[in-house]
């Protein structure tokens, strides 16, 4: 395990794990907890930020918000973690000639680095809209330039990029766009819902990475269920976000009345 403290509560954590390093795709996640003992009992879910198949490592971008994340961010080099990976359904790459427009809020930026690498390998164009409360929340804003992916920041306090919600520069881009686009969103529920609404209004396909509470990551605890209505089904059904998601077509998600 290797740790790099970024600003504020953010850390980059790198772990040795052969399967995740070789097989993970953008949008998939790991369930992980610090230490080799039973406490704390539950692993926590995190999107995979990067992989290094040669070194057999994967890297996470973790914001310390509670006991589980604080324990991970306090780990020392060489300490063990318990991990299941890679898990869940990945993002679907856009068709040829379609720009992938990625929309991220806070730690929701994590899956888009791996996605940008996949896009580059498949010769697809991508663009990232990255929003946060303040510039300090946009910790990973520099990692996309080397991948040839433009990044458009937005902050609610105006300290970096456009002032206000990330959907403001996103809408401006969609208004002026030349070719087809597909939207990909990862971040707070309110942002996902705004992107889903915007996609529906403009007749665009959008994929959203949902962020429910997860206890097991493998479809047994049912802690992560979300209401989803697939084409041809008479009514929506509860589905496990850990096994059938976390990435869903936004048009199939039945959003709660008060997110």
Where do contacts with ligand FAD occur on this chain (CB under 6 A)? 29, 44-47, 60-63, 65-69, 107, 110, 211-214, 246
CA-nearest of 168, 98, 90, 96 to 129 is 168
Give SS3 for 247.
strand
Partners of 120 in the β-ladder:
none
* Strand-by-strand arrangement of the 99-105 sheet: 162-163, 151-155, 126-132, 99-105, 181-186, 206-209, 247-249
Binding status of residue 40 toward ligand FES by CB under 6 A: no
CA-nearest of 103, 6, 125 to 59 is 6
Which of the stretches 20-28, 130-138, 195-203, 220-228 binds ligand FES when contact is defined by CB under 6 A? 220-228
Least distance between ligand FES and beta carbon 240 (Å):
4
- Which residue's CB is nearer to ligand FAD, number 45 or number 126? 45
Binding status of residue 217 toward ligand FES by CB under 6 A: yes
Decide which of ligand FES, ligand FAD, none touches 44; Cβ closer than 5 to 8 Å per partner kind.
Answer: ligand FAD
Q: Quick one: CA torsion of 55, 30, 126, 195, rounded to 10 degrees? A: -170
Binding status of residue 223 toward ligand FES by CB under 6 A: yes
Binding status of residue 214 toward ligand FES by CB under 6 A: yes
Decide which of ligand FAD, ligand FES, none touches 29; Cβ closer than 5 to 8 Å per partner kind.
Answer: ligand FAD
CA distance 90 to 87: 9
Which of the stretches 50-58, 67-75, 118-126, 218-226 binds ligand FES when contact is defined by CB under 6 A? 218-226
Least distance between ligand FAD and beta carbon 192 (Å):
11
CA-nearest of 9, 75, 68 to 214 is 68
Decide which of ligand FES, ligand FAD, none touches 137; Cβ closer than 5 to 8 Å per partner kind.
Answer: none
Decide which of ligand FES, ligand FAD, none touches 196; Cβ closer than 5 to 8 Å per partner kind.
Answer: none
Binding status of residue 245 toward ligand FES by CB under 6 A: no
Give SS3 for 141.
coil
Least distance between ligand FES and beta carbon 94 (Å):
27
Q: How many CA atoms lie within 13 A of 129 on its CB side?
A: 26
CA angle 93, 148, 129 (to 5 degrees): 70
- Which residue's CB is nearer to ligand FES, number 12 or number 85? 85
* Total of chain residues touching ligand FES, rule CB under 6 A: 12
- Which residue's CB is nearer to ligand FAD, number 109 or number 152? 109
Binding status of residue 194 toward ligand FES by CB under 6 A: no
CA distance 240 to 225: 4
CA-nearest of 235, 215, 232, 236 to 224 is 215
**Site residues, ligand FES (CB under 6 A):** 214-217, 219-224, 240, 242
């Amino acid at each position: 395990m290797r740790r790099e403290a970024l600003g504020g509560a953010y850390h980059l954590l790198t772990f040795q794990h052969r399967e995740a390093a070789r097989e993970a795709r953008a949008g998939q996640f790991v369930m992980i907890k610090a230490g080799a003992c039973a406490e704390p009992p539950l692993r926590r879910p995190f999107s995979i930020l990067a992989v290094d198949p040669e070194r057999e490592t994967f890297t996470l971008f973790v914001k310390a918000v509670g006991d589980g994340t604080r324990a991970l961010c306090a780990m020392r080099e060489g300490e063990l973690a318990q991990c299941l990976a890679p898990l869940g359904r990945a993002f679907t790459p856009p068709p040829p000639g379609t720009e992938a427009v990625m929309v991220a809020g806070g730690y929701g930026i994590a899956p888009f680095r791996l996605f940008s690498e996949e896009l580059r390998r498949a010769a697809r164009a991508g663009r990232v809209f990255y929003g946060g409360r303040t510039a300090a929340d946009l910790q990973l804003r520099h990692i996309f330039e080397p991948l040839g992916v433009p990044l458009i920041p937005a902050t609610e306090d105006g300290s970096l990029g456009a002032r206000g919600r990330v959907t403001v520069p996103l809408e401006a881009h969609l208004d002026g766009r030349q070719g087809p686009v597909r939207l990909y969103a990862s971040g707070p529920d309110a942002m996902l819902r705004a992107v889903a609404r915007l996609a529906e209004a403009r007749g665009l396909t959008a994929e959203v990475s949902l962020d429910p509470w997860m206890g097991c990551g493998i479809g047994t605890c049912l802690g992560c269920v979300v209401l989803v209505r697939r084409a041809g089904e008479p009514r929506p059904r509860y589905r496990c976000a850990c096994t059938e998601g976390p990435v869903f077509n936004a048009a199939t998600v039945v959003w709660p009345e008060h997110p």
